[in-house]
Amino acid sequence: MLGGFELTSSLFRYSALFSPEADPRVFTSFIASFLLLNGDRGTHGGETLSFCAGSLSAPYVDPNGGDVLCAHFEHGHKSLVRLERNGVSIAELETQVLHMDSNWFSVNVVVLRDRVSVQIDGSAWEMSANLAGWRPSTGFRFGFFAVAGGQLRSHHLVDDVHIMAGSLLNSSAVPVEIALNGQQFETSEAHFYFLSEPHLRSVSPTAGPGDGGTLIALRATNPAALAQTEHVKCIFTNVGIIEIEGTWDGALEVLRCSTPPSTFAGPMTISASTQIAGHRLSSGMGVIFTYHPPFEFIQMTPASGPTAGGTVVVVAGRVLTSAFGPVLCRIGNHVLPATMELRRQSLRCRTPALSAQSAQVEISLNGQQYQGDLRGSFLFYSPPAILSVVPASGTAHGSTPVTISGTGFLSSLRGVELCRWGNATTNVTFVNETHIICLTPAAAPGLAQLEVAINGQQYTADSFNFSWYSDPHVRSLSWPGTQRELNSWLEPKITLPNDGFVLVRAWGTAFMGGTDYRCRINDEEPIQATYDAMLDSILCWSDLWIDGPNTVEVTLNGLEYTSDNATFTYVPFW
């Protein structure tokens, strides 16, 4: 028919050729939309499905010449969409969407006079090119052709083919010819206008809550079809039909509408309605908008972080789908991008820098509306600091209880509190806001920095070192000197009181690496001791010796003592 045509087809495999009986001028503007399943993930190269328009002879381009436009969808070592005209590439687009082997994806190939564009999955992936000199002629056809690369598992399926061309897509004026005798026609100055329907190609955002009120931006396949209208509406169709007044933004070429409330969750078709010279046009192609159910909040972790920001907050819930977006967090007055993890049904966002306070955390699933039941409270705290670590060393076996003194430990918060020893972490037991206790992990002898996090993520940076040492043992004891005997004591001990002090030297193994050396005599109160690095022994200088046998145990960290029962017999010389 003169003016335009429309064609639909259902599922087919490998190839098909369509020969519409229509005025070739309708090929000046057309849109071909279809669902495509291209190859599978197990194949390697050569898997291509092509959509072509022009001088086609099934299943190849006409060898006698003629203008041919093709969009190739290639799946192999990489996924590629390529536009060709007469065998010459005019545009290419690499995409990951073709790697899906179990999901169909939607394709739109749009020709509007001297431009061609390809849109995949709405407008998530889009490319375009110039078509200067595109002049369709009689015999133009549409075709789908597949090349499988010789692998039996390769498959190419096409479904829901819908081709619309001519004035159904792009308004056109046709001169009126008059014949007074039914044979000879003469051209008059009058024209008849074929008015195109308003066809939509994308909607943003793609989803919104059932309360309605989402401000959506609709893009038309042919913006001129909406720019010339006198009145424009958005039509929401599912169970019923709801018409909403729209606004055309000529500068951005978008139609804006506010979604109505919906009593159900799920997809709804949105189309446009226009009015030109008293004619209502409302049969154009629509787009899908999804009403999502309320997000079911489960928990938010962590619930606190430092005022410097940078805490990764994980909001776990239900009813998340990749069809939504963009996903945002709003913390206080700060709007932040979020990422979605569908498998774990959770969202992640990073906190901004804020002063010490409790701030509301809200989630938007469409980049616009924040639902009230998604709120959680996040506490910004002043960063904690470590002032001292006791003991500062322990055995390589681990499990040494270490008391950490500092500020800002927030014992009432009860978050995910951790001590980090180099690359290892252990849990924290709170004592109060200035003291916490951690058990050391097992580690090889050596040094590591000890830091604390009270939200499981951000650690202090106070550079306190902890030393691991091998398990010490006392093998023997010697009594090298007595009171007032020349050179029988060590020089540093002369400052101690004179009466009754005697030096005993503990000999053994693994005495290096300690930070607080002590001796315990006969299970009494411990005394300070000195490590002699030159002789690898521990010096016990005391007046607590008793006549007869004395047992000596040592510690390298002031806390954990040996249990070797080493004994020497003390016999005073005076």
Q: Which two tokens stand for residue 512?
A: 């290096």
Q: What is the mean pLDDT of residues 530-547?
A: 90
Whether 420 is covered by a domain: the verdict is yes
The pLDDT tens digits of the residues spanning 70-128 come to: 898 887 656 788 898 888 899 888 876 665 545 677 888 888 778 888 888 766 677 88
Predicted local confidence at residue 517, as pLDDT: 96
Residue 307, pLDDT above cutoff 80 = yes
- The region, left, alpha or beta by phi > 0 then psi within -120 to 50, assigned to residue 213 is left
Beta-strand runs (E) in 266-343: 266-276, 279-281, 287-292, 296-301, 304-306, 312-318, 328-331, 334-337, 339-341
CATH for 168: 2.60.120.560
Q: Check: CB of residue 392 under 8 Å from CB of residue 515.
A: yes
Whether 87 is covered by a domain: the verdict is yes
* Statement to judge: residues 129 and 157 lie in one domain: yes
Q: Check: CB of residue 158 under 8 Å from CB of residue 143.
A: no
pLDDT band at residue 499 using 50, 70 and 90 as cut-offs: low
Q: Which of 5-19, 348-362, 422-436 has the lowest mean pLDDT?
A: 5-19
Predicted local confidence at residue 476, as pLDDT: 92
The pLDDT tens digits of the residues spanning 436-460 come to: 999 999 999 999 999 999 888 999 9
Percent of the chain clearing pLDDT 90 (strictly above): 28
Residue 496, pLDDT above cutoff 60 = no
Give the whole-angstrom CA distance, residue 405 versus residue 388.
5
Give whichever of 28-32, 199-203, 412-416, 432-436 has the largest mean pLDDT. Answer: 432-436
Last residue of a domain, one of 172, 190, 218: 172
Give bridge partners of residue 524 from the DSSP assignment: none
CATH for 373: 2.60.40.10
Whether 187 is covered by a domain: the verdict is no
pLDDT band at residue 194 using 50, 70 and 90 as cut-offs: low
* Statement to judge: residues 376 and 399 lie in one domain: no
Task: Show the CA angle centred on residue 113, arms to residues 25 and 165, nearest 5°.
Answer: 50
Give the whole-angstrom CA distance, residue 150 versus residue 404.
69
Give bridge partners of residue 571 from the DSSP assignment: none
Q: What is the mean pLDDT of residues 368-383?
A: 79
Give the whole-angstrom CA distance, residue 486 versus residue 265.
96
Q: Exposed, middle or buried: residue 179 (CB in 10 Å: 0-12, 13-18, 19+)?
A: exposed
Q: What is the mean pLDDT of residues 390-401?
A: 94
Instruction: Taking the CA atoms of 377, 381, 383 and 386 in sequence, report the sign of the dihedral they define.
Output: negative
Which element (helix H / strand E) includes 41?
A: none
Q: What is the DSSP string of 94-139?
A: E-SGGG-SS--EEEEEEEETTEEEEEETTTTEEEEEE-TT----TT
* Statement to judge: residues 286 and 335 lie in one domain: no
Q: Exposed, middle or buried: residue 80 (CB in 10 Å: 0-12, 13-18, 19+)?
A: middle
List Cα–Cα distances, 123 to 109, 118, 305, 338, 340, in angstroms.
12, 9, 38, 21, 20
Residues in the chain: 574
Give the whole-angstrom CA distance, residue 426 versus residue 434.
19
Predicted local confidence at residue 296, as pLDDT: 78
Whether 417 is covered by a domain: the verdict is yes
* Other CB atoms within 10 A of residue 494 CB: 9
Predicted local confidence at residue 377, as pLDDT: 84
* Statement to judge: residues 360 and 301 lie in one domain: yes
* Other CB atoms within 10 A of residue 13 CB: 12
Predicted local confidence at residue 574, as pLDDT: 45
DSSP 458: P
Half-sphere exposure of 220 (CA within 13 A, CB side): 29
Whether 566 is covered by a domain: the verdict is yes
* Statement to judge: residues 103 and 121 lie in one domain: yes
Last residue of a domain, one of 441, 469, 497: 469
Residue 370, pLDDT above cutoff 90 = no
The pLDDT tens digits of the residues spanning 280-289 come to: 777 777 888 8
* Statement to judge: residues 168 and 50 lie in one domain: yes
Whether 195 is covered by a domain: the verdict is no
Predicted local confidence at residue 22, as pLDDT: 58
Predicted local confidence at residue 320, as pLDDT: 65
* Statement to judge: residues 440 and 485 lie in one domain: no
- Long-range contacts at 341-347 (CB < 8 A, ≥ 24 apart): 344/316, 345/316, 345/317, 345/318, 345/320, 346/314, 346/315, 346/316, 346/317, 346/320, 347/314, 347/315, 347/317, 347/320
Q: Is the peptide bond before 384 cis (omega within 30 degrees of 0)?
A: no
Last residue of a domain, one of 469, 494, 522: 469
| Range of the structural domain that residue 390 is part of | 385-469
The pLDDT tens digits of the residues spanning 127-157 come to: 888 888 888 877 788 888 876 555 545 567 7
Residue 39, pLDDT above cutoff 90 = no
Q: What is the mean pLDDT of residues 397-421?
A: 83
Q: Check: CB of residue 303 under 8 Å from CB of residue 187.
A: no
Whether 180 is covered by a domain: the verdict is no
Q: What share of the chain is helix, strand, coil (3-state, %, to 5)?
A: 5, 55, 45
Residue 40, pLDDT above cutoff 60 = no
CA 480 from chain center: how many Å? 69
Q: Which of 325-339, 413-427, 553-567 has the lowest mean pLDDT?
A: 413-427
Between strands 464-469 and 393-395, the pairing is parallel
pLDDT band at residue 15 using 50, 70 and 90 as cut-offs: low
The pLDDT tens digits of the residues spanning 49-59 come to: 888 888 887 65
Predicted local confidence at residue 45, as pLDDT: 45
* Other CB atoms within 10 A of residue 267 CB: 12
List Cα–Cα distances, 448 to 386, 421, 465, 543, in angstroms.
15, 6, 6, 37
Give the whole-angstrom CA distance, residue 3 versus residue 195.
9
* Statement to judge: residues 267 and 205 lie in one domain: yes
CA 514 from chain center: how many Å? 46
Give whichever of 16-30, 393-407, 537-551 has the largest mean pLDDT. Answer: 393-407
Residue 483, pLDDT above cutoff 50 = no
Residue 547, pLDDT above cutoff 80 = yes
* Statement to judge: residues 258 and 398 lie in one domain: no
Q: Which of 324, 316, 512, 306 is nearest to 407 (CA)?
A: 306
Whether 190 is covered by a domain: the verdict is no
The mean of the pLDDT values for the chain is 81
Q: What is the mean pLDDT of residues 223-239?
A: 80
CA 63 from chain center: how many Å? 50
Predicted local confidence at residue 464, as pLDDT: 93
- Count of domains forming the chain: 5
Q: Which two tokens stand for residue 450?
A: 């000890």
* Statement to judge: residues 532 and 409 lie in one domain: no
* Statement to judge: residues 363 and 391 lie in one domain: no
* Statement to judge: residues 209 and 302 lie in one domain: no
Q: What is the mean pLDDT of residues 231-243?
A: 84
Compare 296 and 327 and report the one with higher pLDDT.
Answer: 327
- Computed on alpha carbons and rounded to an integer, the radius of gyration of the chain in Å comes to 41
The pLDDT tens digits of the residues spanning 316-348 come to: 887 666 556 788 899 988 999 998 887 778 889
